[in-house]
Amino acid sequence: MEYGKELQKAMVDKGISGAKALSDKTGVSYGITLRLLSSDKSVRLNDLKITADYLRVEIKFVIKGDES
């Protein structure tokens, strides 16, 4: 799950350069924004949703098939 790359692409489309600028616009802390952009798996879903909504990126959850 490399959502950070999609967020970075959306930043370019919106003309936002840098994690600090994105953090200022979303209200999500700078440290968490850095973790979001690097696809860190320990971020809160709420922080991802706030950032994705601001960048107009859709988040989808897909049910995995039975692996037994």
Residue 22 within any structural domain of the chain: yes
Cβ-Cβ contacts under 8 Å for 28 (sequence gap 6 or more): 22, 36, 47, 50, 51
pLDDT lower than 70: segments of the chain: 67-68
- Residue pair 7/23 in contact by the 8 Å Cβ criterion: no
Q: Is residue 45 part of a domain?
A: yes
Query: How many structural domains is the chain composed of?
Result: 1
Could you tell me if residue 18 is inside a domain?
yes
In this prediction, residue 67 carries a pLDDT of 65
Can you give the residue range of the structural domain that contains 46? Answer: 3-55
Compute the distance between CA of residue 7 and CA of residue 56 in angstroms, rounded to an integer.
9
In a domain, 7, yes or no: yes
Predicted pLDDT of residue 68: 57
Assess if residue 60 is contained within a domain.
no
Q: What pTM was estimated for this model as a whole?
A: 0.86
Is residue 9, in this structure, part of any structural domain at all?
Answer: yes
